[in-house]
Amino acid sequence: MLFARAVDAGAEIMIELADQFWGDRYGRLRDPFGHEWSLASRIEDLSPSEIHQRAAAAFSTPDTLEPTPTVPADDPRAESSRP
């Protein structure tokens, strides 16, 4: 598998390879030189309405969204982000 070979060669996983609602298996990597790569493979053909339904379901569930990073209050960077 190309994704695993890239990781074995030193690439950093940015988005874990996984089946996506639009019908692809998709993942994203950063190689040791800093180049970012998106890898995808079609796993099923979907109609536009099926994609729309799956997207609505995927984004309506809070646990499918990544949390917003926060800066602890005692971190010096927290001061620069305050108005």
Three-class secondary structure assignment of 25-71: EEEEEECCCCCEEEEEEECCCCCHHHHHHHHHHHHHCHHHCCCCCCC
pLDDT mean over 14-31: 95
Residue 60 has a pLDDT of: 87
Confidence of residue 14 (pLDDT cuts 50, 70, 90): very high
Q: Yes or no: say if 26 and 44 are a contact pair by the CB < 8 Å rule.
A: no
Position 80, amino acid = S
Name every residue whose Cβ is closer than 8 Å to that of residue 81 and which is 6 or more positions away in sequence: 71
Residue 63 has a pLDDT of: 60
Measured CA to CA, the distance from residue 1 to residue 24 in angstroms comes to 15
Residue 83 has a pLDDT of: 46
pTM, to two decimals: 0.65
CATH 3.30.465.10 fits 2-65, yes or no: no
Q: What is the pLDDT of residues 36-81, one digit of tens each?
A: 999 999 999 999 999 999 999 988 866 655 555 565 666 666 555 4
